[in-house]
Structure 1
Amino acid sequence: MKRTLTLLLLCAASTQAAVPAGFRANEVAIWAAPVENDSVFDAWRADTPVNPASTMKLLTSWAALNRLGPNYRWKTEFKSDAPLENGVLRGDLYWVGRGDPRLDSPRLAEMLRQLRLRGVQRIEGSLLLDKRAYSNIGSADGFAGDADRVFTVPPDTHLLNLKVAWLRYGFDGGKPAVQLDPPLPQFTLDNQLQAGSAASCGDVRQHVKVAVDERTIRVSGKLPQGCDGAANYVNVLDINSFASQSFRALWRGLGGEGPAAVGVAAAPAGARTLLQQESDPLTDVLTDVNKHSNNTMARSVLLALGMEQPQSGNTLDDAVAQVRGLLQSKGLAADTLVLENGAGLSRRERISARLLGEVLRDAARGPYGPELAATLPLAGEDGTLRKRLGSFAGSLRMKTGTLDDTRALAGYWQAPSGQRLVIVAVVNSPRASELTPALDAAVGDVIRRYQASLLLAP
């Protein structure tokens, strides 16, 4: 009892924080609190709404684990109301998508192989994409200049390979070779590569130039031998075209015939399920979301909340309602919360350091605390924290956040004794990029002071 009281007094005293070193008073918000009691160790502008950048993904992850469960899986189905006669599907095939964020070409190819094993050899009708699972995917306004970048790809019911095709490089008889994965029937690959003499590859993009028009992907440059096996992505086509062309290429590669055309339509009420495939579990998706800060997947996770609990007919609004309802049930005031897409890819999203910290503390105390913590980057070891805060390797797990005017860190530090500290630190400033070292130092200072308070407690 005496130790607990002493620790509470130390923690309470520490909330009278000064401006962290290197910052102006209005540039940073910090909240730090132990998991094992209800005190607050440190706070600076903790109730001010701030743009959290990608640390907002932690709120989305917490809500998904609580509402959907760690083993939640997205389902993809192929349906038809047409008869199957002697290997011929005498009508349309409906691809019912529900937003599997990890659906890729190998998994789709396996689904199509299973479809063939179930007797479908030729599709006489059309391939029709059933996209009813999402009525509204939300927005990420303010990123038009990055429209060709992978991190801005929006979620979709029929997202495949994150809508990214890969150029994979090798050598054939000493000559540079390149393949498009998946093959897309609309495009001809024009290989103008020459053998390069560089000693090593590094980033293959420094050796090659890629130009794309409506029908051709042209690859030129000088490819060193060290780039054998290297790859870089190319962002082409809209989502529906990418999915349907990938289907056609994979289907024909397996020996299938058809479809005659492609389009978008809802599967008839009486259509039977020819094949159903489940995704990887939610925890695997959240690892991609948090360790590698995948925006598209994070937005897909948020939309799953609305998709599974439809109320208003607006998928995004229903998802946000699920998050707010969960916060209310936990007694966490959401006055500072503004959600645009749940990924932090937003100029509008806001949350206070205190609210995000209380969410992390609730998570650590709940049944899925270990699952959430395991998705966070390890300081100095992996993910987006691989080259940062290495002096705390083995004890610190934090999600990073980066936008033009934002740098953020949020996660957990664990003492050798097992006691845990939640830390949220957010910089909103035109100087954000140059303040990253100061942010790391501020987090390190909080940890060292808290560790000292543990040693002082009897």
Structure 2
Amino acid sequence: MKRLCAMVLTFALAWSVPARALELHGIRPDEIAVWAAPVEGDSVLEAYRAEQAVNPASTMKLLTGWSALTRLTPDYRWRTELVSNAPLAHGVLQGDLYWIGAGDPRFANRDLQGMLRTLRARGIERIAGRLLLDKRAFSRIGSASDFGGDAARVFMVDPDTHLTGLKVAWLRFFNDGNGARVTLDPPLAGVRLNAVLSDGGEGLCDDVRRLVSIQVEPERISVSGALPRSCDGAQSYVNVLDHDQYAAQAFAALWRELGGSGPLGSGRGTAPADARVLASHDSEPLPVALADINKYSNNTMARALYLTLGRVAGGCGDTVADAERAVRQTLADAGIAAAPLVLENGAGLSRRERVSARLLGEVLQNAARGPYAGEFLASLPLAAADGTLKKRFAQLGPRLRLKTGTLDGVRSLAGYWQAADGRRLAIVAIVNSPRAAELMPALDRVVADLVTRFDPAAGVRREYNSPITPSLPVEPR
């Protein structure tokens, strides 16, 4: 009987919510908002400024991803098509070819190449007409305002109906005894590559971008410097051209590689109603894209997913407005109060977007209790293991899954702790402050404290040491 009583007492203590003041570790009271609650149950572990409107940075992606899983379901796939109503005779497509884009966030050059192989398998050797991009899927793409100084950065690539390879080209470096050199993949005809590289000898090659100078203009790339031999095979990506130019030039380059000729220029156009499908590509299911979005905080893909919500939901015909309406309706259907939500692009790449810690926390609870909990949780970075959390929370480990958020003046974390006995804690902690970057270790300690309050068996030392912040430049994520 005594043993049974002890077991009952231990169980009760484990499920209770200790009353303890929130330690801010040097964060000022007006710089942070926190909300934490068990997934199983109605209690709240911590609610500190939980209704305050704050900029969530990339933790906003959790709201977009949850809405997409809820409304589109995990089986959703994007379909991209090449269609034409032109006749095919003697290997020649005697008219225009239309590329119907669906806004697939993971559409890659290899997927485009697969579609072109299908054209060749049909016997098409030459396209006598133009390549026309049918961009009806998105009426507009919305904004990511006040990032003008970062316009050329890869994280600022806008979503698009014809997003291909995230609209980046790869610089591939070689130094194999035949001299130091670099090539562009795919070989875009509209981009000039000027390279002046010398042999850098036997030095280390941890990051080729630190060893050579790469200057990118819309239609010109200049590369110079001494390339160590250990950099043979290294690569780096660059943001070039606009979406239409990139898509058309990638098409032309890959078509030539397959022995095809044409098309006679490119432009935009609406596919005729009687056009037949010549080739198509179905994306992998939604959770695959969601994992890329959340683990690596990809802004372009998150914005494309947000717009897809608007396209599928329909409404007024304005893709951006329809996307916001879809997100707000998903919140309403779940019984989650939307105030003080402000949406711009659903990715958190925004100076304007706002949530409350409570709103985001209740979304986490709903997601973990819903039918697609497995897909949602699997998309989040694992502490000390992968994604943007790979170098953080080493003492907690992969029982902690958190989406990170980083902007000038913002550091945020939102996700889950899972105890060994299966209990789960939803956690949201958001710092909005001009000194947010220097407060990141303190933010990590706040989260670690919440975990140990909920689960004393987590075994985290009270003096939590956050790993050294990586020295690479911080980009919004």
Q: Which residue of 2 aligns with 1:390?
A: 394
Q: Which residue of 2 aligns with 1:22?
A: 26
Deviation for aligned residue 1:233? 1.4
What is the rounded CA distance, in whole Å, between the counterparts of 1:46 and 1:304 in structure 2? 30
User: What CA deviation, in whole Å up to 9, does each residue of 1:9-62 have, x standing for no partner?
Assistant: 942x63x74462311111000000001101101110011111000000001110
AA aligned to 2:323 is A
Q: Which residue of 2 aligns with 1:363?
A: 367
Residue aligned with 2:29, SS: coil
Q: Which residue of 2 aligns with 1:125?
A: 129
1:223 aligns with 2:224: no
AA aligned to 1:412 is Y
What is the rounded CA distance, in whole Å, between the counterparts of 1:366 and 1:187 in structure 2? 48
Call closer, same or farther: CA 1:355–1:213 in 2, change over 3 Å.
Answer: closer
Residue aligned with 1:409, SS: strand
Deviation for aligned residue 1:206? 1.8
User: What CA deviation, in whole Å up to 9, does each residue of 1:39-92 have, x standing for no partner?
Assistant: 101110011111000000001110111111112111100111111111111110
Call closer, same or farther: CA 1:68–1:7 in 2, change over 3 Å.
Answer: farther
Is the Cα–Cα contact under 8 Å of residues 19 and 25 in structure 1 kept in the other structure? no
1:448 aligns with 2:452: yes
What is the rounded CA distance, in whole Å, between the counterparts of 1:216 and 1:25 in structure 2? 49
Q: Which residue of 1 aligns with 2:59?
A: 55
Q: Which residue of 1 aligns with 2:256?
A: 252
What is the rounded CA distance, in whole Å, between the counterparts of 2:14 and 2:176 in structure 1? 68
Is the Cα–Cα contact under 8 Å of residues 7 and 453 in structure 1 kept in the other structure? no
What is the rounded CA distance, in whole Å, between the counterparts of 1:122 and 1:284 in structure 2? 35
2:138 to 130, 134, 137: 134
1:404 to 405, 408, 411: 408
Residue aligned with 1:148, SS: coil
- Of residues 423-432 and 113-122 in structure 1, the stretch that sits farther from structure 2 once superposed is 113-122
AA aligned to 1:328 is A
Map 1:88-237 to 2 at 5 A.
Answer: 88-212=92-216, 216-237=220-241
AA aligned to 2:287 is T
2:319 to 315, 326, 329: 315
AA aligned to 1:22 is G
Report the identity percentage.
57
What is the rounded CA distance, in whole Å, between the counterparts of 1:149 and 1:221 in structure 2? 21
AA aligned to 1:268 is P
AA aligned to 2:224 is S
Residue aligned with 2:166, SS: helix
Call closer, same or farther: CA 1:372–1:243 in 2, change over 3 Å.
Answer: same
- Of residues 55-64 and 204-213 in structure 1, the stretch that sits farther from structure 2 once superposed is 204-213
TM-score (norm 2): 0.91
Q: Which residue of 2 aligns with 1:426?
A: 430
Q: Which residue of 1 aligns with 2:39?
A: 35
2:279 to 259, 275, 291: 275
- Of residues 46-55 and 273-282 in structure 1, the stretch that sits farther from structure 2 once superposed is 273-282
AA aligned to 2:159 is P
Call closer, same or farther: CA 1:215–1:73 in 2, change over 3 Å.
Answer: closer
What is the rounded CA distance, in whole Å, between the counterparts of 1:454 and 1:38 in structure 2? 22
Deviation for aligned residue 1:6? 5.2
What is the rounded CA distance, in whole Å, between the counterparts of 2:251 and 2:387 in structure 1? 32
What is the rounded CA distance, in whole Å, between the counterparts of 2:9 and 2:89 in structure 1? 77
Residue aligned with 1:390, SS: coil
Call closer, same or farther: CA 1:93–1:45 in 2, change over 3 Å.
Answer: same
Deviation for aligned residue 1:394? 2.5
Q: Which residue of 1 aligns with 2:3?
A: none
Is the Cα–Cα contact under 8 Å of residues 219 and 240 in structure 2 kept in the other structure? no
Unaligned runs of 5+ in 2: 1-7, 460-477
AA aligned to 1:116 is R
1:380 aligns with 2:357: no
1:263 aligns with 2:261: no
AA aligned to 2:180 is P
What is the rounded CA distance, in whole Å, between the counterparts of 1:386 and 1:5 in structure 2? 33
Call closer, same or farther: CA 1:4–1:243 in 2, change over 3 Å.
Answer: farther
Q: Which residue of 2 aligns with 1:333?
A: 337
Q: Which residue of 2 aligns with 1:284?
A: 288
- CA-based RMSD: 1.9
Deviation for aligned residue 1:4? 11
Call closer, same or farther: CA 1:215–1:317 in 2, change over 3 Å.
Answer: closer
What is the rounded CA distance, in whole Å, between the counterparts of 1:198 and 1:4 in structure 2? 61
Residue aligned with 1:297, SS: helix
Deviation for aligned residue 1:218? 2.9
What is the rounded CA distance, in whole Å, between the counterparts of 1:223 and 1:402 in structure 2? 32
